Amino acid sequence: MVISIGSHPVYKEWELWFYTMGFPQPQRVFEQESGIGLMKMMVDRFLSLEAPLPTHGTVEDNGYLLTKEFIWHGKRLILNCCMDHGDSRTYGDLRVEIVKRPDDTDPAGRMGEVVPGYAFDDCDLIRSNCPNQVVTWHGNDDIGFLGGQPIYLRFRIRNGGLFSFMMQK
């Protein structure tokens, strides 16, 4: 079977549409039988960081993602994430904390100086499948006060995936 994409993807709302053409024959064998198809995917979901349900221990035993240091220039943090994997009984969750300086002596990257009020426990639980999920801490999404400052973001994900994050002004 041969499937080819006929053009650039079409951006429609929060999806990318790929128009395809398919042949049931092997490559280089072209007969009259063919078909046209449409493949859809959420925007910016080519690659994700996945974290399964923990098999033992507590949530604190799970891994973390710590970004490299970068200068914050936004007002809000937006995530492209998927915390539902088809089974509502096992919805995942995600939390974010803002770190001023990680602890270089902790190989797991779990320690360090967290911005007060922006720790994991302050972050409102994210349990959505959304390409533009706004992160809030106690209902507040405005982190513009960090403008121009070097920060790190630390993500804790359980049974879900993180595709991307961005700053919004």
Digit-coded pLDDT (tens) for 71-121: 999 999 999 998 876 555 667 889 999 999 877 776 655 678 899 999 999
What pLDDT, on a 0 to 100 scale, did the predictor assign at position 116? 96
What gap in Å lies between CA 79 and CA 164, rounded to an integer? 6
Entry pTM? 0.76
Cα dihedral 95, 99, 103, 104 sign: positive
Give DSSP secondary structure letters for 81-150: EE---S-GGG--EEEEEEEEEE-TT-TT---EEEPTT-SGGGBPPB--EEEEEEP-BTTB---GGGTT-E
Maximum CA extent, the chain: 66
Average pLDDT of the chain, as a whole number: 84
pLDDT above 80 (res 69): yes
Of 28-37, 42-51, 146-155, the poorest mean pLDDT is in: 28-37
Q: Taking CA 33 as the corner, what is the angle to CA 32 and CA 36, rounded to the nearest 5 degrees?
A: 120
What pLDDT, on a 0 to 100 scale, did the predictor assign at position 86? 56
In the chain, the percentage of residues whose pLDDT exceeds 90 is 41
Residue extents of the structural domains in the chain: 2-42, 49-168
Own/partner long-range contacts of 85-89 (Cβ < 8 Å, ≥24 apart): 85/159, 85/160
**Parallel, antiparallel or unpaired: strands 150-158 and 160-168:** unpaired
In the chain, the percentage of residues whose pLDDT exceeds 70 is 82
